[in-house]
Chain A
């Protein structure tokens, strides 16, 4: 069986799929790929179903060694990639032989990227999903982030006979789009206009559950606390100190803070790519515009064409014993 050995682990790499749905009522968040289009792209480049279990890295990728290969891998995310020390582009699928090493450096833009492997990673499904929920230690690879020395089995059935492919998924730019509510009536009227007018900055407290925004305080009319109610990724919760937090896919399914606004579903991937310290603005849209944005994302996905790389590096050049040295490494 083909396996991947983690030589060095990034700060937060987890096994994810499209998420664990239908169990919010038990307190189980969906988790799953935080930037699903980018994760799906990695799976598609690797010749997989969109939902195949893959690795999501955060801020900095991992170094992986192929055991018992060969294996076809695809990397997405804006970060430098090396195979046995030789630079390779991201957003590519390539085939590695046993003993070869893939290394992914620090993100140059965005915060997260993916490594898909043909056939998908072989991990147990919990409640029907391979997604890792870190806080409860659920699913994925032993319910935790990867650590050096882990050896991940690759599921059988991956295709190795596909050409070297590349593909880019076009993204929206500009402010994150929001709809008001569900509890905007608990705020001073100025809070909504302040949310839309202010320059926000992502705080250092940012993980798979939520990110904190730094900016002006958003004032409530009265209390900030509610009895707990259901919440979804994208809700902008404002506790009593007026500092908003936006929930992501690992966020708790219920919360007790007043929610001023909700990021539209089409922008959740972009939201999860914000880096600590990065500036961000918000723009109000109508429900019809939110629906249109969602349709546009799917049309882009349906229109996505993976292209053979025009001049792929010959496979023999990548063979480990011919390259030998790894002195080109460094970042």
Chain B
């Protein structure tokens, strides 16, 4: 697949995978392959890489390499030789609505669905983890079915509780810690997306699959009380 190279200042290079516009699993899969190939190749001067939906950002030491050389070397990386770890599937329980999902009714109103239909749609699909960003451990999941794509809230909340499951546009996500946020809050999961005392601290990785399951509030409370940890299965 063709790559485009865009310098970002004097110490970073954005590598974009060409393909159909928007968010697609095919383009993201190439991004993850490219990222894995970069990590393995250990090119001179490369400090760190950031895979995202369609791009890999490569941070480099401009006194050890340059954009022309890096672009050449990245273009020559053998992507087909990279074996990615098999995708993991997570089943994450969510208590929808109420104080846990204060925007469920508003999302239903905006999309012309009933709250039960919103929950049914949100739990009907596996979502792919496309990238981690925004804040430590925040996973961008997608894509939502076309009927369930409300724009971001016009006024972001200064504090969204950890574990909140939210949607905006074609994306859904889980707030790993208390954060400001402009997404619509549908519910809360007891899964701890981020725990610095745990190894590894961050639960989800790009390429993972997530399936949400609606559970009653009492079950959420019980799982939170017992320090429940989700376990992934290997996706077929």
Seen from chain A, the residues whose Cβ lies within 8 Å of a Cβ on chain B are: 21-28, 126, 133, 135-138, 179, 181-183, 227-232, 234-235, 252-255, 259, 262-266, 287, 290-291, 294-295
The 8 listed contacts between A and B (C-beta, < 8 Å) are: A23-B136, A138-B196, A230-B56, A232-B8, A235-B9, A262-B10, A287-B62, A290-B9
Residue contact A291 to B62, C-beta cutoff 8 Å: yes
Asked if A136 and B9 make an inter-chain contact with CB atoms under 8 angstroms apart, the answer reads no
A294 to B137, CA, bound (A): 32
Cross-chain contact A126 with B10 (CB below 8 angstroms) = no
Contact A179 B135 (CB under 8 A): no
| Contact between chains at B54 and A135 (CB < 8 Å) | no
Which of chain B's residues have a CB closer than 8 A to the CB of A181? 6-8
Interface status of B179 (Cβ within 8 A of chain A): yes
Which of B35, B52, B137, B202 has the most chain A CB atoms closer than 10 A to its own CB?
A: B52
Bound state CA distance, A105 and B40, in angstroms?
A: 50
* The residue from B49, B54, B67, B134 contacting A227, defined by CB atoms under 8 A apart: B54
For residue A125, give the distance in angstroms from its CB to the closest CB of chain B. Answer: 11
Shortest distance from the beta carbon of B58 to any chain A beta carbon, whole Å = 9
B111-155 residues with Cβ-Cβ distance < 8 A to A are 131-138, 140
Q: What is the bound-complex CA distance between A21 and B48, given in angstroms?
A: 8
8 A Cβ contacts from B77-120 to A: none
**Contact residue among A137, A254, A263 (Cβ-Cβ distance under 8 Å from B52):** A254
What A residues does B16 contact at CB under 8 A?
229
Known: A126-B196, A137-B177, A179-B9. A228 touches B136 (CB 8 A): no
Which of chain A's residues have a CB closer than 8 A to the CB of B67? 287
The residues of B with any CB-CB pair to A shorter than 8 Å are 6-12, 14, 16, 22-23, 35, 47-57, 59, 62-63, 66-67, 131-138, 140, 177-180, 196, 202
Which residue of B7, B63, B202 is within 8 Å of A182 (Cβ)? Answer: B7
A259 touches B8 (CB 8 A): yes
Q: Are A232 and B6 in contact (CB under 8 A)?
A: no
**Shortest distance in angstroms between B203's beta carbon and chain A's nearest beta carbon?**
11
B136 adjacent to A254 (CB under 8 Å):
no
Does the CB pair A229–B9 fall under 8 Å? no
Complex CA gap A264/B49 in Å reads 19
Is the beta-carbon distance between A25 and B49 smaller than 8 angstroms? yes
**A25–B10 touching, CB < 8 Å:** no
Interfacial chain A residues near B66, Cβ < 8 Å: 287
Residue of A nearest to B55 (CB): A229
Q: Which residue of A25, A234, A263, A294 contacts B51 across the interface (Cβ within 8 Å)?
A: A25
Assuming the contacts A26-B137, A227-B22, A229-B14, asked whether A287 and B50 have C-beta atoms less than 8 A apart, the reply is no
For residue A133, which residues in chain B have a CB less than 8 angstroms away from its CB? 136
- Shortest C-beta distance, B181 to chain A (Å), equals 11
A235 to B14, CA, bound (A): 12
Residues of B within 8 Å of A287, CB to CB, are: 7, 10, 62, 66-67
A230 touches B55 (CB 8 A): yes
Are B133 and A291 within 8 A (Cβ)?
A: no
